[in-house]
A and B are shown apart, each in its own frame.
Chain A
Amino acid sequence: MKAFSYERVSDPAQAAARAAEVPGAKFIAGGTNLLDLMKHEIEIPEHLIDVSGTGLDDITPTNEGGLRIGALVSNAALSADARVRKDYAVLSRALVSGASGQLRNKATTGGNLLQRTRCPYFYDTGMPCNKRSPGAGCAALGDGATSRQLGVIGTSDTCIATHPSDMAVALRVLDAEVETVTSSGETRRLTLDEFYQLPGDTPEVENALQVGEMITAVLLPPPVEGHHAYYKVRDRASYAFALVSVALIQASDGTGRVALGGVAPKPWRRDEADAVLSQGASAVMARLLDGARPTQENAFKLTLAERTLAALLAQE
């Protein structure tokens, strides 16, 4: 790990201003992703701004009838909140399917949204990676590369990595928004679709945050009626990232919404796919995965996604 200076801030706007002002600064919350990457020298911040004391650790009702989740609320606390368990069960389910008990105690809502990809070549600093070093090339697209875990849709010729968060897939199906404070002290609200960026020619740009901008909260709209489910398929029963995951909310008349994890650089959802949910899994996937560009190794994800949704619908 490279040396860095450290400061603790108590106010989000002050944190954002400092992050824009100090060269090479980064926020640290739970540290469970950032420190891992700093040990590998994939992230090399010169200055860490500890935001864990900014007081953003409450879940409060909003005027619209939803919930405001502070950016520092831990994944464990969020999954256990009685209101979330009752009215936003898909979120609780997605959270407890991720990482381990120890990690969920430390991981925060803001940090979870911003965790970086688990592409094996992003982690292997001996291999070329456009996300790590723009322009270097992409080892995952080379002959004989291991691409089994990587993306099948929304990817580009420069990067086929996925976003690994389970929580974000549930937030996408719930139409959650990200609230931020910019370095000049303004508040912004972004839908998850606006927040996450596709790789295109710039896979190093993963989200719409400006320099210094800090996530202050995630806003949940009023509860969405229906059966909430999150089904995560992985190589072992626990403590592993998703190969494919499906977040589903289905009303009693069969209509509803679907988002996928493990297949794309962002939680994957399309209105035209939601519109045909009552017609079953193959109708949904024909629209949700239209335009997919899998590799030979990960083409199985297309079938797996359809079967996972079919399994969930059969449980109804």
Chain B
Amino acid sequence: MNSSNNVERHPKTVNPNSSTFSLSVNGERHTLTLDNRTTLLDALREHLQLTGSKKGCDHGQCGACTVLVNGVRINACLSLAVMHEGDDIATIEGVGEADHLDPMQQAFVDHDAFQCGYCTPGQICSAKAVLEEIQAGLPSHVTYDLNTPIELNDAEIRERMSGNLCRCGAYANILKAINQVAEARS
């Protein structure tokens, strides 16, 4: 099959329980040798010191660890780092800078869309992906007609953001923040 392609992507086994592999994070390439058990989230936080992505539950239930892999949002806690050989990872550290915020970050500030802030990096990464997913026509549970372009409304945003929990209950303001960016884009 496509083995030539995969030989190149195959991580080198160093000892039976660890592997060496390369991935790129926020545009910077890293080669890591890690225990196979290391999740993408732990690789980012413990080995690359990118502690923006948070560990809320470590079981796919809260969304605090949401990052983008090749542009697609996933839970970094339920993915093995070694399986990301060759991937482009984007974390909150790559979204804007303190003196030059991304529009989604600015909207979260404008609308007071957080209290403790623990869920916020995941919320922002997820929210940015949600707008892309709607634009790409990915249906959701509340999409009424599967065969027409998706209407951007509160119900769609809420449903699509349901994988990101907020213990402080900032949901109403998170919704306002996402709407602000969506309106500016349209």
The chain A residues found within 8 Å of chain B, CB to CB, are: 1, 3-8, 10-11, 28, 30-32, 35-36, 39, 48, 50, 52-55, 76, 79-80, 85-86, 89, 92-93, 96-97, 99-103, 105-106, 237-239
Contacts and interface: CB of A to CB of B under 8 A. Distances in A.
Contact of B138 (A76, A93, A106): A76
A12 B79 CA distance: 21
A238 B36 contact: no
Interface stretch (B22-30, B98-106, B109-117, B159-167): B159-167
A35 B6 contact: no
Contacts, number: 130
Interface residues of B, number: 52
A-B CB proximity, top 9 nearest = A100-B163, A238-B162, A10-B6, A85-B146, A5-B16, A239-B162, A10-B3, A3-B17, A6-B36
Contacts of A76: 72, 138
User: Which secondary structure dominates chain A's binding surface?
Assistant: mixed
Interface stretch (B45-53, B88-96, B126-134, B172-180): B126-134
A292 B147 CA distance: 38
A36 B61 CA distance: 10
Nearest to A99: B163
Contact of A55 (B2, B85, B141, B143): B2
Contact of B78 (A10, A32, A53, A237): A32
A6 B6 contact: no
Interface in B38-90: 39, 58-60, 63, 66, 72-75, 78-80, 82-83, 85
Given A32-B78, A106-B74, A39 B10 contact: no
Interface in B1-21: 1-3, 5-7, 9-11, 13, 16-17, 19
B113 to A, nearest CB: 18
B137 interface: yes
A170 B147 CA distance: 19
In the complex, which of the residues A52, A89, A100 has the most CB atoms of chain B within 10 Å of its own CB atom?
Answer: A100
Contacts of B164: 100
Contact of B163 (A8, A52, A54, A102): A102
Contact of A102 (B2, B36, B58, B63): B63
A101 B134 CA distance: 11
Interface string B132-172: 01001111110100110000000000111111100000000
B74 to A, nearest CB: 5
